[in-house]
Amino acid sequence: MSVAAAHEVGVVAVEATGVVRLAAVADVECAVAQPDSRQVHAWYPASPCGDGCRAGVGASAAGAMLMAARTVKLVLAVMTIAVAGALVTPLPRLVRRAFLRASALTMLRAIGIRIVIDDRRPFGSRTRGLVVANHISYLDILAIAVVQPSRFVAKSDVASMPLVSVLARRFGVITIDRGSLRSLPGVVDVATAGLEADASVAVFPEGTTWCGGAQGRFHPAFFQSALDAGVPILPVGIGFTVDGCRTAEPGFIGEDGPADTLRRVLRSRRVVVHVCLHEPQLPHGDRRELAARCELLVRSVHRERGTATPTHRG
């Protein structure tokens, strides 16, 4: 079974050189696999995406020399960030945020991913708040950290994931056990405390990863933390492309382990991560209504300029 998606999105590309250009993001079709069999309760977040979502949308393969060079760059970046992070941790928050942003960008560059930013926030609205984003890969954390340094809510085994673990340990990741509903209120309280302490907190309301050609529903639980702290909600849309066509190669889906995702990225050429920053939403009303509104905003970027594009089937 497949879920079709073929839309084009206008974005602004901010490259390492500072050059700004327009780019196009084209969705491909998502081949949906069977639901996750590891569910442990009725509300356990599950994604139907699997290996079939990657069929026919592989990135251009890099040579062995380029893969080796990227691996060396990544190892050096991780070592440098780990050492420098210990020195930065006691410094003021503004310094830590700048370091987090620079560290995330360095890691993305090391593995060959260029970042593209479409900032739709009104002038003067760039503030802290609850960042809510769709979820494709643990690399999403690096992309968000570049544009909105935050404390991230991530599943409890995030510390074992490559790339992310270095930043997670240094910058206070908030862990959550997705298999335990009892732990959820406490994690929401921790997120609320972070927001009240003048830090941005980033969550993935889908609760699990999707391939990018399809998305899950935004669950409302963490929106309560924005309501309680009285801070705006900052919707963010994330997507990965190669040559303008959406790719699931960087995805962390199906039976993937962290190393599988990293291996595919290291061997891929011209991978771009697109980050769309939507207008902040005021913390008013019901958390379910807020979740639905932010979900629509994140989805809307895929529907703005729909054109016929190549698709795939699993």
Least Cα distance to 82 among 24, 147, 168 occurs for 168
Q: Tell me the C-alpha distance between 193 and 21, whole Å.
A: 39
Q: How confident is the model at residue 14 (pLDDT cuts 50, 70, 90)?
A: very low
Least Cα distance to 24 among 304, 294, 212, 296 occurs for 304
User: Which of 22-36, 207-221, 247-261 has the lowest average pLDDT?
Assistant: 22-36
Q: Tell me the C-alpha distance between 133 and 135, whole Å.
A: 6
Predicted pLDDT of residue 163? 64
Q: Is the pLDDT confidence value at 209 over 80?
A: yes
The percentage of residues in the chain with a pLDDT greater than 90, rounded to a whole number, is 45
Least Cα distance to 12 among 275, 313, 309 occurs for 275
Instruction: Quick: pLDDT tens for 146-199.
Output: 999 999 998 777 656 666 677 666 667 887 776 666 778 889 999 999 999 988
Q: What is the pTM of this model?
A: 0.79
Strands 174-176, 151-155: pairing kind? parallel
Average pLDDT over residues 45-74: 76
Predicted pLDDT of residue 34? 42
Contact 152, 202 (CB under 8 A): yes
Predicted pLDDT of residue 213? 81
Q: How confident is the model at residue 259 (pLDDT cuts 50, 70, 90)?
A: confident
The larger pLDDT score, comparing residue 162 to residue 300, is at 300
Contact 310, 242 (CB under 8 A): no
What is the three-class DSSP state of 263? helix
Least Cα distance to 201 among 192, 189, 213 occurs for 192
CA trace torsion 230, 150, 145, 300 (10° rounding): -30
Q: Which helix (H) or strand (E) holds 175?
A: strand 174-176
Predicted pLDDT of residue 17? 31
Predicted pLDDT of residue 5? 33
Predicted pLDDT of residue 63? 80
Q: Tell me the C-alpha distance between 253 and 175, whole Å.
A: 20
The percentage of residues in the chain with a pLDDT greater than 70, rounded to a whole number, is 71
Instruction: Quick: pLDDT tens for 77-116.
Output: 999 998 898 899 889 989 999 999 999 999 999 999 999 9
Exposed/middle/buried for residue 87 (C-beta within 10 Å: 0-12, 13-18, 19+)? exposed
Distances (CA, A) of 228 to 89, 132, 191, 192: 28, 16, 10, 7
Distances (CA, A) of 202 to 7, 188, 199, 233, 314: 26, 12, 10, 10, 32
Predicted pLDDT of residue 255? 81
Instruction: Quick: pLDDT tens for 231-255.
Output: 999 999 999 999 888 888 898 887 8
Q: Is the pLDDT confidence value at 298 over 60?
A: yes
Contact 132, 264 (CB under 8 A): no
Angle between helices 93-110 and 64-88 (to 10 degrees): 170
Q: How confident is the model at residue 304 (pLDDT cuts 50, 70, 90)?
A: low
First-to-last C-alpha distance (Å) of the chain: 8
User: How does the average pLDDT of the chain come out, rounded?
Assistant: 78
Predicted pLDDT of residue 148? 93
Per domain, the residue ranges of the chain are 2-300
